[in-house]
Chains A and B, each alone.
Chain A
């Protein structure tokens, strides 16, 4: 089941630069998208979300962009900080139900 795909298992970014994490989906019924951050031995922590009626949502250093025609979303973190090093999960949900379908995650490493 590859309804939500994060094709980059890892990403390394210099501190202070922009981190861009990508996510693709196949199910056109998805209309709510979320990004979670996860540290080892902890549960996922909600970061930011976007509904399909928008194409951008911003919260501080985090911005999520949604391109519905391409079935693609991205998370931008700027500027990247050392504490941003974690695994980032993209998740999606259709209005018909509330379960989240998750991507495999991208490990972000912020280099000093």
Chain B
């Protein structure tokens, strides 16, 4: 069964460093998303991406964040100058069309120290 894969499963980084979280969405899906869940809090939408551009983003997704689809398979989230409060589980998801069920990866646990 096709699945969304995320690497790494756990990333530890020092405050102020840049991190890139990687995702391989399901191959025939057209919409890609990043969500995050801070420990003990709700899952929060960060950004959606369609047709090689951001279609929506939340207030959380400020200039510190960027997304890219560098080739036909990967979808990355870059966090510049990480802060302690960026520590969270980051989930990548994809869907075949907008406003349909999204399929999630296993997540990357980001720990900023």
User: CB-defined interface of B80-113 with A at 8 Å, one 1/0 digit per residue?
Assistant: 0000000000010101001111111111000000
Min CB gap A17→B, angstroms: 27
Number of interface residues of B (CB under 8 A): 26
* CB atoms of A89 and B43 under 8 A apart: yes
Interface of B is mostly: strand
User: CB-defined interface of A34-68 with B at 8 Å, one 1/0 digit per residue?
Assistant: 10100001111110010000000000000000000
Size bracket of the A interface: 20 to 34
* CB atoms of B102 and A46 under 8 A apart: yes
* CB atoms of A98 and B43 under 8 A apart: no
16 intermolecular pairs with C-beta atoms under 8 Å apart? A32-B99, A41-B106, A41-B107, A42-B107, A43-B6, A43-B106, A44-B91, A46-B103, A46-B104, A49-B100, A89-B43, A97-B48, A97-B55, A98-B55, A98-B99, A99-B58
State the B residues within 8 Å of A (CB). 4, 6, 31, 33, 35, 42-45, 48, 55-56, 58, 91, 93, 95, 98-107
